[in-house]
Amino acid sequence: MDRGEGIQTGGNEMAQGVPIEVKRINRMEAEGGTQAFCDVALGGTFLVKGVRVVAGKKGLFVSMPQEQGKDGNWYDTVLPLTKEARQRISETVLAAFKAPAP
């Protein structure tokens, strides 16, 4: 496989019902900025660590794990490939964050 080519399996399974589960929430004691770090399981077979809940100017949003490049900019290391997948992950993470802590 050439670099840059992807393997396509057809359909948009993430938007159509791959289970998304928040496995861990580590809440922060902060007024603004990062409110929590989460681990999110996708389909029961893939774990994404370092998903953040962030308080922004327009309210809470979900930020994917990032690393800082040599240029000083931050880059996502995990990218949902569709708008629908990103939306489902965000909705699931925010619902878990807003639920009462056990």
What are the structure tokens assigned to 81, written together? 């490939």
In whole angstroms, give the CA distance from residue 17 to residue 43: 9
What domains sit in the chain, N to C, each tagged with a CATH number? 17-98 (3.30.1120.40)
* Other CB atoms within 10 A of residue 15 CB: 15
pLDDT tens for 63-85 read: 999 999 999 999 999 999 899 99
Name the strand (E) or helix (H) holding 40: strand 33-42
Amino acid at 95: A
What residues pair up with 41 in beta bridges, in sequence order? 21, 47
pLDDT tens for 20-74 read: 999 999 999 877 799 999 999 999 999 999 999 999 999 999 999 999 999 999 9
Question: How confident is the model at residue 12, as a pLDDT?
Answer: 46
